[in-house]
Amino acid sequence: MRQSFRLLIAPFVATCVGVVLLLGLGIWQLERLQWKEALIARIEGAMSAEAVPLPSHEAWTPSFLETYDYRRVTLSGHFLHDKEAFAYGFLSKGDDDATIQGGFIITPFERDDGSVIMVNRGFVPTDKRDPATRRDGLLTGPVTVSGIVRAPESKNAFTPADDPAHNLFFTRDPIAIAAAKGLNEVAPFMIDADATPVPGGWPEGGHTIVALVNNHFQYALTWFALALGLLSVFFVFARNRLRALNTQAAH
């Protein structure tokens, strides 16, 4: 009998290692769940809070977005419409969520202190890409913009290259767009304009998307279930192995 148990030592150790790893992954997912829920709560709180004036450029430190990302703000100044950019994109609208092809109008906004912020004024369909088709929406003179602070978009392996020569961009990156437009020292973030209507109806603001996937609880359950399954497999294996050895010993 003692020899029989010795034969199970290696499988038992391997099972224990596997169970510990699987439990560790499950616990890590629970920790990620707490982090994600806190992040979602922070974003929801920031977007529902009263708008505040956007701080001056002296406050735009590397940690600025840790506090202001998704924060509702206001800023006063004027648009530089001659340097607007078209960022390709889609929009789902209507009861049937019909997809409209078009893009977002990114326009530099100069404040009274000379600082420049890229403002995502909102979506336009493809046939409204040319500013001449929406002249009423080209606000001139001093204006006040209300919107949400957003971090720059990042490229991935599937993002097409921007085409500044044709004023076509595939990433809402304020620094890259500013560089293509010959602007220096712009804000390292963007403002998504709110849904305040503009003359002529275009661009259409208020399309900030918050799409944070939160499947960490399901992932945790999966890892814990795998740990339990591994223990069950070892139990069945050990029982069958001992029965076989006992049968052989009886003969």
Same-domain status, 113 and 79: yes
DSSP string, 69-103: TT-EEEEEEEE-GGG-EEEEEEEEETTTTEEEEEE
Same-domain status, 94 and 166: yes
Residue 126 lies in a domain: yes
Same-domain status, 220 and 186: no
pLDDT digits (tens, 9 = 90+) for 17-32: 999 999 999 999 999 9
Same-domain status, 136 and 234: no
Domain count, the chain: 2
pLDDT value of position 239: 86
Q: Which residues pair with 50 in a beta bridge?
A: none
Residue 207 lies in a domain: no
Give the integer Cα–Cα distance in Å for 226 and 245: 28
pLDDT value of position 211: 72
Cβ–Cβ < 8 Å for 168, 44: no
Local confidence band at 1 (pLDDT 50, 70, 90 cut-offs) = low
Same-domain status, 31 and 121: no
CB atoms within 10 A of CB 145: 23
pLDDT value of position 39: 83
More confident residue, 129 or 8: 129
pLDDT value of position 183: 93
pLDDT digits (tens, 9 = 90+) for 116-129: 999 999 999 999 99
For 176: left if phi > 0, alpha if psi spans -120 to 50, otherwise beta; the answer is alpha
- Strands (DSSP E) found in the chain: 52-53, 72-79, 85-93, 98-111, 116-125, 143-150, 168-169, 186-193
Which residue range forms the structural domain that includes residue 109? 71-193
Question: What mean pLDDT value characterizes the chain?
Answer: 90
Same-domain status, 75 and 175: yes
Residue 241 lies in a domain: yes
Same-domain status, 139 and 241: no
